[in-house]
Amino acid sequence: MNDTIAEGWTEQARPPALFRRFAFERYAQTRAFLERVAAVQDELGLAPQNISFGTTYVNVTIAASGEGGLGEAERELARRIAAAADACA
């Protein structure tokens, strides 16, 4: 069994959430990433609980969407967001 629900993300227990900070060199990359994250949200029908950003960083918090805690839906959202960051780096 793999205890890591989403590689590269920090898992918080109470309340269940995934957190990750993405850093970029330029604001254009940050904005491109935010646009990709919005597209991912639309596609999956699931949004991060909070996105906090400045010109060259984006902090993403994904909370559990159901009572069962973090599951496959959150893991997929995290994976897709990380892929979006790779595409903008």
What angle (nearest 5°) sits at the alpha carbon of residue 88, between those of residues 74 and 21? 50
Which C-beta is closer to its own copies: that of 38 or that of 87?
A: 38
Name the amino acid, one letter, at 69. G
Contact 79, 46 (CB under 8 A): no
Per-residue interface string for the shown chain with its own copies, residues 58-87, x marking contact by CB under 8 A: ------------------------------
Contact 59, 23 (CB under 8 A): no
Contact segment (CB under 8 A) with its own copies among 2-10, 15-23, 42-50, 76-84 equals: 42-50
Residues that bind its own copies (CB under 8 A): 27, 31, 34, 38, 47-55
